[in-house]
Chain A
Amino acid sequence: MKPIRIAHLFPDLLNLYADKGNILTLRRRLAWRGIPVEVEQVRRDDPLHLSRYHLVLLGGGSDREQALVGEVLRKQRAEWASAVASGLPLLAICGGYQLLGEYYETAEGLKVPGLGLLDMRTTAGSTRLIGNIAIESPECGRIVGFENHAGRTEHRHLPLGTVLHGHGNNGQDGKEGVRYQNVIGTYIHGPLLPKNPRLADFVLQLALAYAGAPAELSPLDDALELLAHEAFFQRRIVVGRGLRRGDGAGASR
């Protein structure tokens, strides 16, 4: 079997929120199933051949670094648009998520243009939206993690999920992230994939299908991952909201 090739974009610039954890999760979950995988780190000055990859990861960085990345990415706007239209799986987190839209407007009113792949705009708010978050996704069930962003994002696509607890895209409309073609964008890090194995496998399934190897993923022993997911949800979300549900919520202490 030919390896699944994953591009990790600009690890030198966009790695503010432990994207290493997301890469490691994808890599291990393929390896544990005997599926060969290659992760290529694409740096700012490297040529980017989107057609090489079955999955692309775009992480978050500070404002300064994000502006640098936006500048580089926009040079290949046409390639990006056609790759996404043809179904390239793309996982974009925090700053990377914001870059998919038309622009990011800073607190000083400066509009930093994005890739324009989505009908989406982000404006910096006066406060940061920080904290533990849980959302419900129709495709991947409950997703938990941490969010930390000044940007308020509005878009006209489907969200990744609806907010159970936390702020989400803009702290207003109860929506978190974006789902469009095989693009997943989200503010959730923490990091995202290790504690959300269903989402991790959903992303891998997209990549396998795109690579022309639509094999069903064999199940893994996710006891530890699910334990971490559940413990986080019970102690950090349910207790944090002061909820006491019949399903044992809050009973952990």
Chain B
Amino acid sequence: MIGLWIGKCVLWLMQRFGRRATSLPGKMALRISPRLFARLARQLNFCAVVTGTNGKTTTTAMLSRMFAAGEPVIHNAEGANMQQGILTALLRAASWTGRLRVRTAVFEVDEATLPVVAPYLPIRVAVVTNLFRDQLDRYGELDTTVRKVTEGLARTAASLVLNGDDPLVRHVGLSLGTHHVVYFGMHRGHLHPLEREVMRDGAFCLRCGHPLRYDGFFYGQLGQYACTHCDFVQPHPTFCGQYEPGRLHVHQEGLPGMSFPLPTRGLFNAYNALAAVAAARVSGLSAGQIERGLQSFVPPLGRMQPFATTPVSVLNLIKNPAGCDSVLAAIAAEPGDKGFCILINDLAADGRDVSWLWDADFEWLPDRIQPAFCVAGGLRAEDMAVRLKYAGLPAAAIVPVPGIEPAIDAALDRAAARGVSLYVLATYTALYPAARHLTRRADTTSGTASWDAGRKNDETHPDSPPVSRSPESVRG
């Protein structure tokens, strides 16, 4: 009981003082009573989880909106996807006597956290969005991630909603043969031939080690694939998606086609919506409920998020090569001349190793976007600047400005002088300070600067050892 009260007190205090309470209350409560998680979790009647490398936050948010269209639902905040973040969400829904007021939950769960929480949560539906290379220094290697996800799912009796276009996720599905598995995938019409030589993590059959043959790609390793040696092939999708600007058409096997509003931009977001629709259908939600959920969906922080600065700026989270490539592709499709500000931090939540910058296709910048300038900022501003130089951006266009706020200010000045809109790309721990500063810059023009300017941001403690990816704990 003490743990519950401590957790609820921390939660209350943080909310009282306007802090983002996404993980810390759960972390404190867990330290005092490790069994609290199980005590709260077992009161749930239904739990859906979303895991995978990219798109967890968006997919989870969409799915929870769909559930919320019919009943109250517990949902963990963006990025707080480890045990303490999930516990914080449960604490928020718990009374002071430890009774859950809401019995349905939709959680985003970190890949490595899944085996830890799976035994306690009544997981009925589990979504795997995709498995890309992400944060090698935390998990070691990609194989470990595949193993963790498989291990976590094996500890549930859930129906699995898997991305059939991803050979690594397909492998997970095949190794969990006793589960009820459905696949989602994009319509062939969205396939495109590979234009550039890029490494794909799933390019080899995990079963026999032979190369996979692709007939076309959606993005990254997602595509139409088959093993050249054994019978490992892309599954026929139970839920097949086709999208156009603003709409997603879904064909569910054996049923008439459905069509939903698509409140986000870009192919990767169409995948997220498709995953959420499939999970909702498997959970028994009606098309009407799904439609209402998507209509009420507000894109989360840092997914093509606009700010009313002068000139206008758009913020995007980047955290791994595949995610970064899809962001660059989405930006390239936007009209008008552009300037960039790319903020790279290397705190634990970002991954200490910034090698991934070299796997991301920043060649898109000189080749297809030709930005007026590119300011490189954050704790690894200079590494990013070198990356841009070798990507082929003219030296005069590359401006290293260490830090976050100085980099954004320098970029906004340049964007104003050149009359272009500004695209800000930021890694996880740079995202919140960037959003804060952009909001402040937008407020200043309308005369309502209200942010706590004296508050320290992530940069002040570059080497504090955060334990979760949530912003309050990395802030130190």
Contacts and interface: CB of A to CB of B under 8 A. Distances in A.
Interface stretch (A98-106, A165-173, A174-182, A227-235): A227-235
Contacts of A253: 459, 462
Interface string A60-75: 0011110010000000
Contacts of A191: 355, 358
Contacts of B357: 18, 21
Q: How large is the interface on A (under 10, 10 to 19, 20 to 34, 35 or more residues)?
A: 35 or more
Most chain A beta-carbon neighbours within 10 Å: one of B352, B353, B389, B395 = B353
Contacts of B96: none
Contacts of B209: 64, 68
Nearest to A149: B140
A72 to B, nearest CB: 11
Given A21-B357, A227-B382, A231-B382, 18 more contacts: A11-B197, A12-B203, A15-B199, A16-B141, A20-B199, A20-B358, A28-B390, A62-B141, A62-B142, A128-B140, A132-B352, A191-B355, A225-B389, A227-B385, A228-B382, A228-B383, A232-B380, A235-B379
A25 B462 contact: no
B138 to A, nearest CB: 9
Contact of A18 (B346, B359, B402): B359
Contacts of A249: none
B382 A148 contact: no
A62 B143 contact: yes
B14 interface: no
B199 A148 contact: no
A239 B463 contact: yes
A167 to B, nearest CB: 13
A44 B211 contact: yes
Interface in B121-149: 133, 136-137, 140-143
B358 to A, nearest CB: 3
A128 B140 CA distance: 8
B462 A235 contact: yes
B240 interface: no
A188 B141 CA distance: 16
B166 to A, nearest CB: 17
Contacts of A146: 137, 352-355
Interface of A: 11-13, 15-18, 20-21, 24-25, 28, 41, 44-45, 62-65, 68, 128, 130-132, 146, 148, 150, 189-191, 194-195, 221, 224-225, 227-228, 231-232, 235-236, 239-240, 252-253
A16 B135 CA distance: 11
A232 B383 contact: yes
Interface in B212-269: none
A65 B206 CA distance: 10
B41 interface: no
A64 B355 contact: no
Instruction: Please name the 6 residue pairs, one residue from A and one from B, whose CB atoms are nearest each other, closest first.
Output: A21-B358, A18-B358, A228-B382, A18-B355, A15-B199, A231-B382
B400 interface: yes
Contacts of B383: 195, 228, 232
B356 interface: yes
Contact of A21 (B203, B346, B390): B390
A249 to B, nearest CB: 14
Contacts of B459: 253
B243 to A, nearest CB: 30
Contacts of A194: 358, 386-387, 390
A65 B355 CA distance: 19
A132 B355 CA distance: 12
Contact of A16 (B136, B381, B387, B463): B136
Nearest to B460: A253
Contacts of B137: 130, 146, 148
Nearest to A236: B346
B43 to A, nearest CB: 38
A68 B391 CA distance: 31
A24 B386 CA distance: 11
A169 B462 CA distance: 27
Interface string B336-370: 00000000001000001111111100000000000
B114 interface: no
B120 interface: no
A189 B357 CA distance: 12
A21 B382 contact: no
Nearest to A131: B352
Contacts of A16: 133, 136, 141-142
Most chain A beta-carbon neighbours within 10 Å: one of B140, B357, B390, B391 = B390
Nearest to A61: B141
A189 B395 CA distance: 24
A253 B133 CA distance: 32
26 contacts: A11-B197, A12-B211, A16-B133, A16-B136, A20-B358, A20-B359, A21-B387, A25-B390, A41-B197, A62-B142, A130-B137, A189-B355, A190-B353, A190-B355, A224-B385, A224-B386, A224-B389, A224-B398, A225-B389, A228-B385, A228-B386, A232-B383, A235-B462, A252-B402, A253-B459, A253-B462
B297 interface: no
A17 B356 CA distance: 8
A225 B136 contact: no
B15 to A, nearest CB: 32
Contacts of B141: 16, 62-63
Interface string B138-179: 001111000000000000000000000000000000000000
A172 to B, nearest CB: 21
